[in-house]
Amino acid sequence: MTLLDRVKAAGVPAHVGMIMDGNGRWATARGLPRNAGHQAGVRTAERLIRFAGRRLGLRHLTLYAFSTENWSRPEAEVSFLFDLLRRFIAEKLAEFVAEGVKVTVSGDAAELPPALREEVARATAATAGSDRLWLNVALNYGARREILRACQAAMRAAVAGTLRPDGLDEEAFSRLLYTDGMPDPDLIIRTSGEVRLSNFLLWQAAYAELHFTRTLWPDFTAAEFLSILSAYQERERRFGGLVGEER
């Protein structure tokens, strides 16, 4: 039995979040411009999406593509990233439809360049009925802004009289988040050796298992992904309770 077979037999997580970090350092280490690292990173994302959907059977995958803090990068790099994402979505849309990949975006799309915003809208509409793999792209995303946005929506509902304070429980609040309809992530992986969440899915990650690898994102492989999933399956998830002999 291969590692892939063992991971699938043990039960694949319902939702995996990926903080794709290290593109710039990957390029710098090779004497290349930072944009070459972003191009390599997109190819890695493409391979992971294809592997997760076709071979692994993962149902929900969230990729952290661009944070609200990334606007502080040089304007030329930000423009290149947005155009790279636009071209990636456009080029892969037919494949996503054929493979049953549902595409959604978590984040403030209103601030994105019009061409990227239009491509995102086209992809979400074209794949709305897909149900094999739900690919959620965190784009212009920040968890604090997401939580604040949800609070504002709850306040507006309260003022309108459609929501009572005691009616706002965790489940109701979760429905106000970008990830409404998705299960909370079971596992969040960050590449490049950084050991923090960087404003990623803070509400949803309350009980997620975390894995940090020193591998730079362009070097991340399906084999390492399987190894991480195998290690995840060895963990005991207590959710604040007791397990086994501890009771």
Residue 229: name the closest of 219, 220, 240, 238 by CA: 220
The DSSP output letter for 108 is -
CA torsion through residues 46, 51, 54, 56, sign: negative
Domains belonging to the chain, first-starting first, are 15-231 (3.40.1180.10)
CB 209: neighbour CB atoms within 10 A? 18
Helix (H) or strand (E) segment spanning residue 15 = strand 15-19
Instruction: Tell me the three-class secondary structure of 20-83, residue by residue.
Output: CCCHHHHHHHCCCCHHHHHHHHHHHHHHHHHHHHHHHCCCEEEEEEEEHHHHHCCHHHHHHHHH
**How far apart (Å, rounded) are the C-alpha atoms in residues 158 and 104?**
28
User: pLDDT over 70 for what percent of the chain?
Assistant: 96
**How far apart (Å, rounded) are the C-alpha atoms in residues 142 and 149?**
11
Residue 241 has pLDDT above 80, yes or no: no
Rg (CA), the chain: 19
Weakest-pLDDT range from 68-72, 86-90, 152-156, 241-245? 241-245
User: pLDDT over 90 for what percent of the chain?
Assistant: 94
Which residue shows structure tokens 């959620």? 136
The pLDDT assigned to 1 comes to 87
Whole-number average pLDDT of the chain: 96
Residue 225 has pLDDT above 70, yes or no: yes
Query: Which structure tokens are listed for 165?
Result: 């304070």
Query: Which structure tokens are listed for 120?
Result: 């995102």
Q: What average pLDDT does this structure show over 76-85?
A: 98
Q: Are 127 and 103 in contact (CB under 8 A)?
A: yes
**pLDDT tens for residues 41-59?**
999 999 999 999 999 999 9
C-alpha torsion angle, residues 211, 217, 223, 225 (rounded to 10): 30
**How far apart (Å, rounded) are the C-alpha atoms in residues 227 and 38?**
24
**pLDDT tens for residues 134-149?**
999 999 999 999 999 9
CB 149: neighbour CB atoms within 10 A? 15
**How far apart (Å, rounded) are the C-alpha atoms in residues 85 and 139?**
10
The pLDDT assigned to 199 comes to 98
The DSSP output letter for 210 is E
Residue 247 has pLDDT above 60, yes or no: no
Residue 14: name the closest of 47, 50, 57 by CA: 57
Residues classed as catalytic: 21, 70
The DSSP output letter for 85 is H
* Cα 238 versus chain centre, distance: 24
Give residue 237's pLDDT band: very low, low, confident or very high (50, 70, 90): confident
